[in-house]
Amino acid sequence: MRVTLAFTIKEFLLLLRDPGGLFVLFMMPVMFMVVFSLALGGLFEEGAARGSARALEVPVAIGGAGEVAEQVVEQLDATQGLAMIREQDGQALTAEAVAQLVADGAYPVGVVFPDGLTALLEDPRILRGEQVKPLEVDVIVDPATTAQVTGPLEGALSAVLQQVVGRRLGEAGAAAWFEQVAAGLPAEVRAQLAASMQPDGQGEGALPVTTRRRVPPGVEREQFPDQFQQNAAGYTVMGVFFIATVMIESIFRERRSGAMRRLRAAPVGRAPIVISKLVPFYVVNLIQIVIMFAIARLAFGLDLGFIPAVVVVSAALALVATGMGIALAGVARSETQGTGLAVIVVLTTSALGGVMVPRFIMPEAMQQIGNITPQAWAIQGYQDVLVRGQGLGGVWLEACVLLIFAAVFTVIGVWRFRFD
Amino acid sequence: MSSAENGVLLRAGGVVHRYGDLTAVNDVTLEVRRGEVFGLLGPNGAGKSTLISICSGMFEPTAGQVTVGDRQLAPTSRAAKRRIGVVPQDIALYEKLSGRQNLRFFGRVYGLGGRRLRERVEAVLEVVGLSDRGNDQAGTYSGGMQRRLNLAAGLLHEPELLILDEPTVGVDPQSRNHIFDNVERLNRDQGVTIVYTTHYMEEAERLCDRVAIIDHGKIVALDSPRALIESLGGGVIQIGIDPTQRAQVTESLSALASVQAVGPGPDEKSLNIEASSARHALVDVMQAMNAAALEVETVRILEPNLESVFLRYTGRSLRD
Ligand SMILES: Nc1ncnc2c1ncn2[C@@H]1O[C@H](COP(=O)(O)OP(=O)(O)OP(=O)(O)O)[C@@H](O)[C@H]1O
Ligand SMILES: [Mg+2]
């Protein structure tokens, strides 16, 4: 115990001797978070919306909404970048099924049409221009989805609704009015009038159908993630993994110093040496996470949700990061190779894990691969709390998966740990 | 009778160490007696550091074993390791930490703590004359000061056995004398047993009670410096010859009564001639060469010292 403490103190002293390295470690993710959230925010959204190669797949429940809904869905489906999914396993999707699919994270967004939509548009009160209680088309959104993903769908849906419903109302309304006013007119005049009437209902004021954003039932807080929630979680996760470069540097420097040789002659086992390489960096990681969320909270008003849940995810995440550091140090043959490898591994797994671009806009195969990165689980854990407002119960699965990653990495690192 | 009782502190038995195909230590057996200064003398690459690393429990030999007192030494045997202090050949310090921080760290690693740790740190700083520089970063020390701190780190826990691997390399004469004094004092006043590796024969002659000469991983001679020198008899005459006449020269000189042995010299063109009295033998040698019409290009008389002992056993000079 005393020996482990000695090693840990030594490691802290060494870390403090090189504050420059730590400063870089702390600043980098902060910079990423701020830059990507502010400076490039608009660009990022536009680019993501336009540039995603794959059509956004949207499950849709038509139910008893009838022909009008069919028409809307058809037009949406024909819209570039959107693919509407009406059925699953040969069964038409129900409102519950759509909500479930979104709640499960299978799709970022779904659409549910209200029963009786077509019938409402044929309601004589509407045709007479009377006010009726409007129906709502629900846009079911995964709260962790950013506006850049749902935006195109919501825009297209409003436009298409406007068009289809408006036209239908125009046609039906005009026909009813015509029947009323032109009843007694001569046949030629009626024909003339009918020809001059454009079946154009657009811009006629409030439609009796509106759209409404909703989170799937069972997901508590009705709040939608902004750029900051995505980026704060994402770049915090990426940032902690860069501890690997600092750890590799420290381990190789110690080997180079020859001090490791002396330690081999000392009455100490591997455990205190390896632990001392984990504990201080673990603490550094925790400080790093605190800094990131503090900045996101104070400067950008990020709501942290249930703090203990954030702490649980953070604690597990930092374990994975230090574990990965010691594993990479064990695998690397030289310091240069090690830090290079660390940068490549961290950037690649971070990208796959959804740090820079949310995962659901990636192709299916990439999403599957992303699941084997700890970053994906950590981000999901954070978003469960920050965005979906969940508590400890919402993050235990992610925390367990992260602990498994941490255990595997640490075992590899301890097994491959060399003194010189 | 156990080895502890008969005064043997460290024993290496049949130690072999290979790095891949290279046999760095080749079947070494030796005993270091309690209270002595034991020298290990050999040229670069002889296997000194490898042997010493094994004797301090840094790694296990390919074959053979090492015991400290009654206990077998292995990388995991903490009790045995605690009795040994090691000063590696290469500086083994944290450059970014101060001298005191380094010592506190290594002291704790050897189980010291609290007041005792503080006392020991100050005591060893005093011993190596670094008290006033103790708070400076080790990386800012001169080479000689780093060596002294390196030595200090091995003394902290007051080991019974101190193993020093070429502690004076790259050190100015003043620091060197300082280290000699320390070694002598530790041995004389505190009864610390010392294993001292060097390739300077003056150091071995001055400090060591017994010296093992090691070459190509083998112990080629082991005795007190005086006995080793006396075993040479009168000394060595080194003559330069025409290499084509080598066999002939060897044959005719070996026949001389005043010559004890004729062996290869440091190169092709020279021979080492051992004699009970170099001066007397020289006359005989020159006469014999003349009589046989053999050429003598150079003649050197080597006063008997460890250098000539080394020459005798390895055919090479220590500095080769
Ligand atoms: N880690 C290693 N891997 C491979 N070969 C090694 C290693 N360490 C030493 N050797 C080789 O083993 C032999 C003995 O080396 P060692 O360092 O023990 O010699 P030494 O007597 O201490 O030499 P010096 O006086 O230069 O310190 C040398 O040929 C050396 O090249
Ligand atoms: Mg050596």
pLDDT, one tens digit per residue, over A377-388 is 999 899 888 877
Res A39: pLDDT:
57
Tell me how far apart the alpha carbons of residues A160 and B267 are, in angstroms, rounded to a whole number: 99
- Between helices A374-386 and A307-331, what is the axis angle to 10°? 170
CB B298 within 8 A of CB B306: no
pLDDT category at A181 given cuts 50, 70, 90 is: low
| Same-domain status, A245 and A393 | yes
Residue B68 lies in a domain: yes
Tokens at B154, concatenated: 């091995």
Average pLDDT over residues B267-271: 87
Share of chain B above pLDDT 70, in %: 96
Residue A7 lies in a domain: no
| Same-domain status, A195 and A261 | no
Among candidate residues B289, B275, B281, the one with its CA nearest the CA of residue B240: B289
Share of chain B above pLDDT 90, in %: 47
Tell me how far apart the alpha carbons of residues B194 and B231 are, in angstroms, rounded to a whole number: 25
Q: Strands B84-87 and B161-165: what pairing?
A: parallel
- What are B38's strand-pairing partners? B195, B210
Tell me how far apart the alpha carbons of residues A138 and A118 are, in angstroms, rounded to a whole number: 16
Tell me how far apart the alpha carbons of residues A255 and A251 are, in angstroms, rounded to a whole number: 6
Nearest CA in chain B to A272: B109
| Same-domain status, A244 and A385 | yes
pLDDT category at A203 given cuts 50, 70, 90 is: very low
Asked whether the predicted pLDDT for residue A53 surpasses 90, the reply is no
Is A262 close to B96, i.e. CB distance below 8 A?
no
Is B97 close to A14, i.e. CB distance below 8 A?
yes
Last-in-domain residue among A168, A187, A214: A214
pTM of the model: 0.69
Is A264 close to B59, i.e. CB distance below 8 A?
yes
Q: Strands A109-112 and A56-61: what pairing?
A: parallel
Residue A114 lies in a domain: yes
DSSP assignment string, A164-222: HHHHHHHHHHHHHHHHHHTTTS-HHHHHHHHHH-----TT-S--SEEEEEEPPTT----
Residue B180 lies in a domain: no
What is the domain range of residue B125? 92-158
Count the Cβ atoms, other than its own, within 10 Å of residue B5.
9
pLDDT category at A204 given cuts 50, 70, 90 is: very low
CA distances from A384 to A98, A352, B252, B258 (A): 20, 19, 97, 98
State the ligand closest to the CA atom of B54.
1
Contacts of A18 in chain B (CB under 8 A): 96
Is A262 close to B56, i.e. CB distance below 8 A?
no
DSSP assignment string, A103-130: HTTS-SEEEEPPTTHHHHHT-HHHHTT-
Residue B185 lies in a domain: no
- Give how far B132 is from chain A: nearest CA, Å: 21
- What are B218's strand-pairing partners? B215
Last-in-domain residue among A193, A214, A235: A214
Asked whether the predicted pLDDT for residue A247 surpasses 80, the reply is yes
Tell me how far apart the alpha carbons of residues B49 and B32 are, in angstroms, rounded to a whole number: 16
Task: Classify the complex by whether its ipTM is higher than 0.85, answering yes or no.
Answer: no
Contacts of B106 in chain A (CB under 8 A): 262, 266
Ligand 1 atom at minimal distance to the Cα of residue B47: 18
| Same-domain status, B164 and B154 | no
| Same-domain status, B76 and B60 | yes
CATH label of the domain that carries residue B200 = 3.40.50.300
CATH label of the domain that carries residue B269 = 3.30.70.100
Tell me how far apart the alpha carbons of residues B157 and A262 are, in angstroms, rounded to a whole number: 14
Phi, psi of A184, rounded to the nearest 5 degrees: -95, 5
Res B26: pLDDT:
94
When divided into structural domains, chain B yields a total of 3
Average pLDDT over residues B264-282: 83
Nearest CA in chain A to B139: A257
3-state secondary structure of B237: strand
In sequence order, what are the residues at sequence separation of 6 or more whose Cβ sits closer than 8 angstroms to the Cβ of residue A368?
none
Residue A327 CA, distance from chain mean position: 28
Ligand 1 centroid, distance to B217 Cα (angstroms): 10
Tell me how far apart the alpha carbons of residues B302 and B312 are, in angstroms, rounded to a whole number: 11
CA distances from B119 to B92, B116, B152, B188 (A): 22, 5, 13, 22
State the ligand closest to the CA atom of B87.
2
Is B88 close to A14, i.e. CB distance below 8 A?
no
What pLDDT, in 10s, does the model give residues A388-405?
A: 778 888 899 999 999 999
Residue A289 lies in a domain: yes
| Same-domain status, A249 and A366 | yes
Tokens at A105, concatenated: 């994270």
Answer with the residue of higher pLDDT: A127 or B128.
B128
Residue B293: CA atoms inside 13 Å, Cβ hemisphere, count?
0
Q: Which of B86, B91, B108 sits opposite A265 (nearest CB)?
A: B86
Tell me how far apart the alpha carbons of residues A98 and A88 are, in angstroms, rounded to a whole number: 10
Residue A44 lies in a domain: no
CB A72 within 8 A of CB A161: yes
Residue A14 lies in a domain: no
What pLDDT, in 10s, does the model give residues A259-276?
A: 888 888 898 887 788 888
Count the Cβ atoms, other than its own, within 10 Å of residue A187.
7
Residue B311 lies in a domain: no
Res A389: pLDDT:
79
Tell me how far apart the alpha carbons of residues A118 and A216 are, in angstroms, rounded to a whole number: 25
Residue A11 lies in a domain: no
| Same-domain status, B63 and B202 | yes
Q: Which of A3, A6, A257 sits opposite B94 (nearest CB)?
A: A257
Is A259 close to B92, i.e. CB distance below 8 A?
yes
Average pLDDT over residues B132-143: 93
Is A3 close to B84, i.e. CB distance below 8 A?
no
Tell me how far apart the alpha carbons of residues B199 and B20 are, in angstroms, rounded to a whole number: 25
Tell me how far apart the alpha carbons of residues A150 and A236 are, in angstroms, rounded to a whole number: 24
Res B2: pLDDT:
45
| Same-domain status, A307 and A332 | yes
Res A185: pLDDT:
64
User: How much of chain B is in helix, strand and coil states, percent to nearest 5?
Assistant: 40, 30, 35
pLDDT category at A196 given cuts 50, 70, 90 is: low
Average pLDDT over residues B215-231: 88
Res A50: pLDDT:
45
Asked whether the predicted pLDDT for residue B177 surpasses 60, the reply is yes
Q: Which of B94, B95, B109 sits opposite A266 (nearest CB)?
A: B109
What is the domain range of residue A336? 224-416
Ligand 1 atom 7, closest CA: B19
Q: Which of B16, B50, B213 to mutate to test the pocket of ligand 1 (most atoms within 8 A of CB)?
A: B50
Indicate if ligand 1 lies below 6 Å from the C-beta of B22: yes
Average pLDDT of chain A to the nearest whole number: 81
Res A179: pLDDT:
65
| Same-domain status, A73 and A101 | yes
When divided into structural domains, chain A yields a total of 2
Res A199: pLDDT:
47
Contacts of A14 in chain B (CB under 8 A): 94, 96-97
Asked whether the predicted pLDDT for residue A182 surpasses 70, the reply is no
Residues of A with CB under 8 A from a CB of B: 2-3, 5-7, 9-10, 13-14, 17-18, 254, 257-269
| Same-domain status, B205 and B69 | yes
| Same-domain status, B6 and B73 | yes
| Same-domain status, B292 and B147 | no
What pLDDT, in 10s, does the model give residues A79-89?
A: 888 889 988 88
Residue A9 lies in a domain: no
What pLDDT, in 10s, does the model give residues A310-344?
A: 999 999 999 999 999 999 999 998 899 999 999 99
Residue B179 lies in a domain: no
Asked whether the predicted pLDDT for residue A51 surpasses 80, the reply is no
Planar angle of CA A88, A89, A90, nearest 5 degrees = 90
